Amino acid sequence: MYFYSNLIDIPNREVFPACMEVENGIIKSISKVDGVFNDYILPGFIDAHVHIESSLLVPSEFARMAVIHGTVATVSDPHEIANVCGMQGIRFMIENGNQVPFHFFFGAPACVPATVFETAGATLNASDIDKLLAEPDILYLAEMMNFPGVLFNEEEVMAKIASGKKHNKPIDGHSPGLRGAQAKQYIDAGISTDHECFTLEEAVDKINCGMKVLIREGSAARNFDALIPLMTEHSDRLMFCSDDKHADSLFVGHINQLVARAVALGYDLFNILKVACLNPVIHYKLPVGTLNVGDAADFIITRDLKNFVIDETYIKGKQVLEKGRSLIESVKIPIINKFNITKKNVADFNFEPKEFEQVIECLDGQLITNKLIRARAELTLENDILKIVVVNRYNEVPIAVSFIKNFGLKRGAMASSVAHDSHNIIAVGINDKEISNAVNLVIEHKGGLSAVDGSVKNVLPLPVAGLMSDKDAWQVAADYTRLHNFSVNVLGSTLLAPFMSLSFMALLVIPHLKLSDKGLFDGDKFGLV
């Protein structure tokens, strides 16, 4: 098979008309030719850190949609399903991903559970992690969220890091806001990357200490604008990632969007493509082709070096995208799950606030939150302060209740069994009855996203671990869009991605104030309030 096109040679920083020969999925030859071509061949894009589960799609369906945007590989942390189903969940992700022509590279989830201050469905100890890292299918130790454990030299945490070093596999980080001597201590422990930088100064600090920084642009957490100036001087130390991206966002675009935005800002094309295509391969030692003779034929073709709309995608020489149509077929999806509770009564959500309460302030486009103190009289819908609850999905225990500002709901309630990191049910609403209805809709379907307004009840079922759908990717994207529109246009949420933001209000390893099934959590003191 011969391909005639303009070839973008990223390492040598040149573009030339070429003939590329592919045989048995391998690039056999590349030669310069005379000719004028309207399109370009370049290596495929790589998402350097993503939780596939957050797309609400199983890996095989994620791949079907991702190849439309020229993505050929992901560095995937199965942390979400591992917190629900443990080893069984990790095996599910690997086996499902192996059924389609796409490069999924999974890591060993370092923090299952993420903290001792929440209830998860499984535990992976240091011995489990060591066994995983010994497997060829597990390429790295996934994000070490427990950065206080690293700083305080906790035995279990350091044992997991030691396993990463023993097996000579990269160790991913997660240390939002960590600076100075503490950042250096964290990095010196062996942590090689961070995707949680939210200021330029923090990112430069970490790069100067030897770390690589991932520029993240997901459905809720968006750090591209803050961090893209790093491209000028630090392109060798950067990668692009989405981290958490719902199906509707994936439908619109993926890493190609970040490439297009960086080009529009005037950054050097070769540096941008190095970040998007090559740096993840180098850092993680990925068996992904980068347009060299002898490589796997992993590449994309586009006529558009402005918006990076992709015409064709090839993985191991197999065409998986043609004229905007994914050629990857759906596969049979088995159901695994863990949901052990019955429906709740309205009275279960009753809570008598104290004279003064700590209130979570949700920040649009960020995973961090602020801590507010508000008097009981201020805890009103008019002040945009709502009740937020976390319901343990693994055991019948009392419900955790607190308050949140900036969600913007004027009516009804929203609930989700996608609630990082332990994936209990999280809900926010204007009163106990609406919250109860939203929560019970999720329980009824053993997982899902729900939005209710009186007798109007909407749900997107997520039967696979309460995290992912068993449906076609495009159907899930459409169903999620309808649910999103209802939460914004009917319920009144003012957030860019209300369900994604809601899912992170239980993420204890991101400062400053969050809610777990065990209660309100202060991320600065790293303990329950």
CA–CA dist 256, 304 (Å, integer): 11
Is residue 178 a contact partner of residue 191, using CB atoms and an 8 Å limit? no
Q: Which residues of 453-487 are buried (b: 16+ CB within 10 A; e: fewer)?
A: beeeebbbbbbbbbbbbbbebeebbebbeebbebb
pTM of the entire structure? 0.94
* DSSP letters spanning 173-202: E--TT--HHHHHHHHHTT--EES---SHHH
Residue with the two structure tokens 């919250």: 435
Q: Which residues of 391-418 are buried (b: 16+ CB within 10 A; e: fewer)?
A: bbbbeeeebbbbbbbbbbbeebbbbbbb
Please give the DSSP secondary-structure letter assigned to residue 494. Answer: -
- Domain made up of 45-286: CATH architecture: Alpha-Beta Barrel (3.20)
Pinpoint the residues of the chain covered by CATH 3.20.20.140. 45-286
Is residue 42 a contact partner of residue 13, using CB atoms and an 8 Å limit? no
Tokens standing for 486?
């209802």
Look up residue 345 and give its amino acid: N
CA–CA dist 276, 308 (Å, integer): 12
List, in order, residues 6 or more apart from 266 with CB less than 8 Å away.
none
Looking only at Cα atoms, what is the longest distance across the chain? Answer: 79
> Do you know the residue count of the chain?
529
Q: Among candidates 295, 496, 477, which has minimal Cα distance to 406?
A: 496
Q: Among candidates 340, 371, 391, 347, which has minimal Cα distance to 118?
A: 391
Look up residue 410 and give its amino acid: K
Structure confidence at residue 220 (pLDDT): 76
CA–CA dist 363, 358 (Å, integer): 16
In tens digits, what is the pLDDT along the chain, a chain of 529 residues? Answer: 999 999 999 999 999 999 999 999 999 999 999 999 999 999 999 999 999 999 999 999 999 999 999 999 999 999 999 999 999 999 999 999 999 999 999 999 999 998 899 999 999 999 999 999 999 999 999 999 888 899 999 999 999 999 999 999 999 999 999 999 999 999 999 999 999 998 999 999 999 999 999 999 997 788 999 999 999 999 999 999 999 999 999 999 999 999 999 999 999 999 999 999 999 999 999 999 999 999 999 999 999 999 999 999 999 999 999 989 999 999 999 999 999 999 999 999 999 999 999 999 999 988 899 999 999 999 999 999 999 999 999 999 999 999 999 999 999 999 999 999 999 999 999 999 999 999 999 999 999 999 999 999 999 999 999 999 999 999 999 999 999 999 999 999 999 999 999 999 999 988 999 999 999 999 989 899 9
Query: What does the H/E/C string look like for 244-261?
Result: CCCHHHHHHCCHHHHHHH
Look up residue 380 and give its amino acid: T
Is residue 493 a contact partner of residue 518, using CB atoms and an 8 Å limit? no
Is residue 33 a contact partner of residue 6, using CB atoms and an 8 Å limit? no
Is 123 exposed, middle or buried (CB count within 10 Å of its CB: 0-12, 13-18, 19+)? exposed
Instruction: Look at phi and psi of residue 224 and say left if phi exceeds 0, alpha if psi is from -120 to 50, else beta.
Output: alpha
Structure confidence at residue 510 (pLDDT): 87
Structure confidence at residue 367 (pLDDT): 86
Structure confidence at residue 366 (pLDDT): 86
List, in order, residues 6 or more apart from 317 with CB less than 8 Å away.
1, 22, 23, 24, 25, 26, 296, 297
**Cα angle for residues 222, 276, 6 (degrees, 5° grid):** 135
Q: Among candidates 123, 140, 40, which has minimal Cα distance to 89?
A: 123
